[in-house]
Amino acid sequence: MRLPKFQKPTGWKASLKTRSFRVGGYSVAAAAMVLAIAIAANAFVGALPATLTQIDLTSAQLFSLSEETETMLDGLEEEITIYWVVQSGYEDTDLETLLGRYTSLADSITLEKIDPDVYPTFAQQYTSGGIYNNSLAVVCGDRSRWVSNDEIYLYDYSNYYYDGTYEVSFAGESSITSAISYVTAEDLPRVYTLTGHGESELPSSFQSAIAGQNMTLNPLSLLTVESAPADAGCIIIHAPQSDLSSQEVTILRDYLQTGGSLFLLTDPLSDGQRLPNLEGLMAEYGVTAQTGIVLEGDQNHQLSQGPYYLLPNLGYHTITEPLSEEGYYVLLPVAQGLTVSEELPEGVTVTSLLTTSSAAFSKVSGYAMDTYEKEKGDLEGPFDLAVAITEEIDEETSAQIVWVSSSSLADEDADSWVSGGNLDFFLNALGWMCDHEESITIHAKSLNYESLTMSGGTSAILSLLVVGVLPLTYLIVGIRIWIRRKRR
């Protein structure tokens, strides 16, 4: 019997059994698995905090939070809401990345985006001023602080008139951290500036920085009161041109004896003028001012502009430690020398904050000097230029004084020469005296560049290297190569 001839199955069912279909099916299944893994991995990474998924590759480390901020966020217990006020499509990616760092480090911080086109009256409950895209409202309970975009991006047009350039700094971290500290703080220090003796007003940038550290600044006349304000965290005496009365000194002395704090910034006065009452108060703590203006004999401790542009050594103290760690200078143009007594009153401790080199000397002729050379009668250094004084009143109370022998510490031009080092020192000193050390400053991060500060000695060495050594080296090497080739 003949069997029927075998016929291959046809149609779509038959195509499912072919080898090419099986191979293709495996490929599709593998692709589907890879896609599923990719989706799951993307969802997992998306759930991770920004600190683990976004690497800060910016040259200024715009999104790297400081140790101060991380410490504050780590101890944050209050619920905080940050409202990001911005029109849709105008979001600043730098600010968004920075905000992501905050929310990833503190579970108690919630970020909400508010479109002013949708909620036109929202911001009015937090500010009465102009409203700009990418501004913030930081809210904790009944307290709030409005952070305008012009506080996050700082523009300096001081050179625009001369060369048409301006500098931009990103102050996102300092603004946001300050706002969080403000809305969560129980008490805010009050700082008073003495008036009535020709004192100079603090520059606007320093006043803004004090406000940014959540300290209130108020004028004070001791001629109209019987005692210092009870809520004074610190009293600032900035560049007095005449002496305090004995009554005012008595009020200050009583204030210090109750645990007060005094920030004194003085200058060498013209025509040998002195401040006997105020200097007498400081002498009670073992510190006296020397006659004349300090000149620095070591080029490594002066700017190339002159020997009275002093770049002092930094002592070891809470005030100076952040500056030392970050490699910042303090610049004091025109200062007088301070001398600390070898025998201090009982309970008094004096720490040197800023000191000259041993090559420094004081020109007793002061502003009338006609040479930078040391002359007979000039006083030998080294000198202190800033000191921190602590007096233990009792087991729970202490007085604190910082004396800086140059009011140029609070000069904006001097501060710009050292990329904000003077302002850092100033704020650190205030924070120490007001028991508000967590306010130690966070730098705004330049989007342009920072000034490179170097001593006169370093500048001379680099100039010699660039102008003399390197060209001469290239010339010698070139001549040797030419001679070798010629001999061949």
Q: Nearest 10 degrees: CA dihedral of 271, 341, 309, 359? A: 110
Q: Which residues of the chain have pLDDT under 50?
A: 6, 45, 48, 50-53, 55-57, 59-61, 440, 449-451
The per-residue pLDDT for 442 is 65
The per-residue pLDDT for 178 is 86
Please list the residues that pair with 392 across neighbouring strands: 398
Whether 138 contacts 176, CB under 8 Å: yes
Element (H, E) at 401: strand 398-404
Among all chains, which residue has been given the structure tokens 């009338």?
368
CA atoms of 197 and 121, how far apart (whole Å): 47
Using DSSP bridges, classify how beta strands 332-333 and 309-310 pair: parallel, antiparallel or unpaired: antiparallel
CA atoms of 403 and 384, how far apart (whole Å): 10
Q: Which amino acid is at 362?
A: S
User: Per residue in 474-488, is it b (16+ CB within 10 Å) or e — as a string?
Assistant: eeeeeeeeeeeeeee
The per-residue pLDDT for 284 is 95
Q: Nearest 10 degrees: CA dihedral of 297, 300, 306, 310? A: -90
Whether 320 contacts 345, CB under 8 Å: no
DSSP SS3 for 217:
strand
For 136, phi and psi rounded to 5 degrees? -130, 145
The per-residue pLDDT for 272 is 72
pLDDT tens, residue by residue, 49-98: 544 445 444 544 455 677 778 888 888 888 999 999 999 999 998 899 88
The per-residue pLDDT for 8 is 54
